[in-house]
Amino acid sequence: MLDHVSIGVRDLHAAKAFYDAALAPLGYACLSEGDDSLGYGRDNVVLWLNRSARPVPADAESGLHFCFAAPTRASVDAFHAAALAMGGRDNGAPGLRADYDPDYYAAFAIDPDGYRLEAYCGKPAA
C-alpha cells in the first residue's frame, strides 16, 4: 500500500547513528545518504529521514508510530537494546503482546526526535 514514509529530524548525524544501530538487527541499512536526507530499507528505500528545522512535535497521544518487520524475536530484542544504547527511550520492553495476538512479539522505543518505533515478529519459525 505504501511505497515509502518520510520524517523530519533535527540532527541528521545523530539520527544516522541511531537508525544505523537500531535497524541493523532487523536487516535494514542506510541505502541512500545525502546532505539533507538518509534513506533506509533492505532492497530499496522505504524510510526517508530528512533534515528539518521543524520536525513533527513528539506527541504520545497522537497514535503515530512506525512498526518495522523483524525476522526473529532475537532481532526484536537487539533492536530494542540498540535503540536504548543510542539514546532512545524505552516505550515497551521486548516480549509477547498476547492481547494483540498470541504470537505477537514486539518491542517499543522512542527515537531522539520523539518518534515512536516498534519492531515486531510474528510466529517463530518451526
CATH number at residue 85: 3.10.180.10
Q: Flag whether 59 is in a domain.
A: no
What's the whole-model pTM score?
Answer: 0.93
Which cell is 92 given?
Answer: 515497551
> Cβ contacts of residue 8 below 8 Å, gap of 6+?
49, 50, 51, 52, 54, 55, 56, 113
Query: For the chain, percent helix, then strand, then coil, each to nearest 5?
Result: 20, 35, 40
Q: Flag whether 22 is in a domain.
A: yes
pLDDT tier at 56, thresholds 50, 70, 90: confident
pLDDT in tens, 17-41: 999 999 999 999 999 999 999 999 9
Domain count, the chain: 1
DSSP state of 88: -
Q: Is residue 58 over pLDDT 90?
A: no
- Mean pLDDT across the chain: 94
Q: Flag whether 117 is in a domain.
A: yes
> Cβ contacts of residue 126 below 8 Å, gap of 6+?
none
In this structure, the strands spanning 45-51 and 37-41 are antiparallel
Q: Flag whether 57 is in a domain.
A: no
Q: Flag whether 41 is in a domain.
A: yes
Q: Flag whether 36 is in a domain.
A: yes
Domain hosting residue 42, numbered range: 5-52+64-121
Give the pLDDT confidence score for residue 104 in this predicted structure: 96
Q: Flag whether 126 is in a domain.
A: no
- The strands making up 105-110's β-sheet, listed across from edge to edge, are 66-69, 116-121, 105-110, 89-96
